[in-house]
Amino acid sequence: MLLTILGTGSGGPFLGRNFTSQILRAGNDLFLLDCGEGTQMQLFRLGVRYDRLRHIFISHLHGDHVFGLVGLLTSFSLKNRTAPLALYSPPGLRELVETTFRVCGVRLSYRLDFNEVEADVSSRVFENAGLEVWTVPLRHRVPCTGWLFREKPRPRHMRGEMIEVYSIPYEKIPALKAGADLTLPDGRVIPNRELTTPSDPPRAYAFCSDTAFSEAVADMVRGVDLLYHEATFTSDEEEEAAFSFHSTAGQAAEIARRAGVGRLLLGHFSGRYQDLEQHLREARAVFDAADLAEEGGHYEV
């Protein structure tokens, strides 16, 4: 999986940082996470070929996470898109989008599937051959959910030379990759470990957009390879963070530490900070593998 950051700013007037939005590539699939105003501009500027986007996940309905959605959906239509598009969000998105389109006379050229999910329980909301997506309930002013992308266990790798050695027919290979032993015509059984090597470990990415510090989040994102966690403030604004249901960089790092994640990306920075060195310092004091998300940056999961 590869994550591309489109915006690292938080709510409030535009002060040079784009609003929250990310692209997650997983194999041939492309997922958009949040869609603040200007997301379609960022997709263009960063050269993301987003025509094959089929799934958009919106964490909550605050403007800095959703006000770019109607523009993006309309633009797809003006390019005569026909492939259906699925939306996942807390309740309310359908009313927002449908009212906007009715008032503005937008008739989409493609089907929109709304999946309004409960933001306060952890549940699987999407699944395809390669991965699952789970909600990650967050603590915010309004119903808000993070998203956990978890790859499914992958097939083991065949040792190519064994196919010849044992004259393995093609149709038996999927079972062997899934872990079965091989029974030869003469009755001999070849154990799977002689025929295959271990699969790549499934990877996991968790996106925690807007949340007050919450230990429950650490439980839900345990062991993910990459955690994006908002870090709106530094520690001197811890009170304001609590009041506005946001986190400090140190709190984000504390979640990463407790969850034992591989790497932490910080984002959703308040416009009051020009310089983000203090965010980084405070996070690394708690969890070493922490970085500031950068707009246009690509991050391997």
Instruction: Write phi, then psi, for 259 (nearest 5 degrees).
Output: -85, -10
Candidates 98-106, 124-132, 169-177, 252-260; binding stretch for its own copies (CB under 8 A): 98-106
Cα–Cα dist 217/139, whole Å? 9
The minimum distance between CB 111 and its own copies, in angstroms, equals: 19
Residue 272 token pair:
């009051």
Confirm or reject binding of residue 44 to its own copies (CB under 8 A): yes
Single out the residue of 96, 112, 162, 163 in contact with its own copies (rule: CB under 8 A): 96
> Which CA distances in Å does 30 have to 33, 268, 293, 294?
10, 22, 19, 19
Confirm or reject binding of residue 179 to its own copies (CB under 8 A): no
C-alpha closest to that of 12 among 64, 87, 86: 64
From 29, 34, 64, 181, active-site residue: 64
Instruction: Indicate the residue among 141 and 298 with the shorter CB distance to its own copies.
Output: 141
Single out the residue of 25, 54, 100, 154 in contact with its own copies (rule: CB under 8 A): 100
C-alpha closest to that of 202 among 177, 225, 175, 173: 225
Confirm or reject binding of residue 166 to its own copies (CB under 8 A): no
Confirm or reject binding of residue 40 to its own copies (CB under 8 A): yes
Cα–Cα dist 42/75, whole Å? 14
Instruction: Indicate the residue among 37 and 254 with the shorter CB distance to its own copies.
Output: 37
| Inter-residue contact 73 to 85 (CB < 8 Å) | yes
Instruction: Indicate the residue among 104 and 121 with the shorter CB distance to its own copies.
Output: 104
- Provide the 8-state DSSP code for 118: -
Instruction: Indicate the residue among 89 and 196 with the shorter CB distance to its own copies.
Output: 89
The minimum distance between CB 115 and its own copies, in angstroms, equals: 16
Single out the residue of 84, 111, 127, 142 in contact with its own copies (rule: CB under 8 A): 142
The minimum distance between CB 254 and its own copies, in angstroms, equals: 27
Confirm or reject binding of residue 202 to its own copies (CB under 8 A): no
Instruction: Indicate the residue among 240 and 291 with the shorter CB distance to its own copies.
Output: 240
* Angle of CA points 82, 88, 92, to nearest 5°: 105
Confirm or reject binding of residue 122 to its own copies (CB under 8 A): no
Alpha helices in the chain (DSSP H): 39-45, 63-66, 69-78, 93-103, 160-165, 173-177, 192-195, 215-220, 238-243, 249-259, 277-286
Annotated active-site residue 64? The verdict is yes
Confirm or reject binding of residue 109 to its own copies (CB under 8 A): no
Instruction: Write phi, then psi, for 9 (nearest 5 degrees).
Output: -90, 170
Instruction: Indicate the residue among 51 and 288 with the shorter CB distance to its own copies.
Output: 51
Q: Give, as ranges, the residues between 60 and 89 that touch its own copies (CB under 8 A).
A: 61-63, 66-68, 70-71, 74-76, 78-79
For residue 275, the cross-strand partners are: none
Cα–Cα dist 198/130, whole Å? 17
Cα–Cα dist 288/260, whole Å? 11
Confirm or reject binding of residue 47 to its own copies (CB under 8 A): no
List of residues contacting its own copies (CB under 8 A): 11-16, 37-38, 40-41, 43-44, 61-63, 66-68, 70-71, 74-76, 78-79, 92-93, 95-96, 99-100, 103-106, 141-142
**Hey, which residues are catalytic here?**
64
